[in-house]
Amino acid sequence: MNHLLIAAVSAVVTLVLALLVLSVLRRKSNKRKYTERWQDLQRYCGSKETWPLAIITADKLLDEALRNHRIKGKSTGERLVAAQHKITDNDAVWYSHNLAKKLIAETTVRLNQADVKKSLVGFRQALKDLGVVV
């Protein structure tokens, strides 16, 4: 009876350790995926014509990260409200998100380099806070 109990406890411990290792590997894989996607969207910064695409893509990437963290909400804005305790610079991320929404709604928005930089810095910090980019 004692041997059976020891075997069962060993099996449970082994299973828990295996799940922990898989979880760590999955997080590293996700971080790599998000980092690569962030680097891809940075290519849009090379031309004024693609600046809006960089900001909109960053907003979508942040929304995906919020959903993958199981942050509740029907929209990106609702998820940002729910995640405000995880994000260190809420003002910056809201500035960025609102700019992305404006770019989607209006085709005549004129961006300057400072707006683009401020927006992307806000998105990147939020992604760092969520632990999905380095």
Domains (range + CATH), the chain:
33-129 (1.20.120)
Q: d(Cα 108, Cα 102) in Å, to the nearest integer? A: 10
pLDDT band at 80 (very low <50, low <70, confident <90, very high): very high
pLDDT of residue 108: 87
Model confidence at 22: pLDDT above 50: no
Contact 45, 51 (CB under 8 A): yes
Query: How much is the pLDDT for 25?
Result: 40
Q: Which of 20 and 2 is assigned the larger pLDDT?
A: 2
pLDDT confidence bin for 24, thresholds 50/70/90: very low
Q: What is the pTM of this model?
A: 0.79
Residue 66 · residue 80 · CB < 8 Å: yes
Q: What is the pLDDT of residues 82-108, one digit of tens each?
A: 999 999 999 999 999 999 999 999 988
**Residue 100 CA to its chain's centroid (Å):** 15
Kindly report which listed range (27-31, 67-71, 85-89) carries the lowest average pLDDT score: 27-31
Our CA dihedral for 7, 9, 11, 12, rounded to 10 degrees, sits at: 170
What would the mean pLDDT of 26-55 be, rounded to a whole number?
A: 86
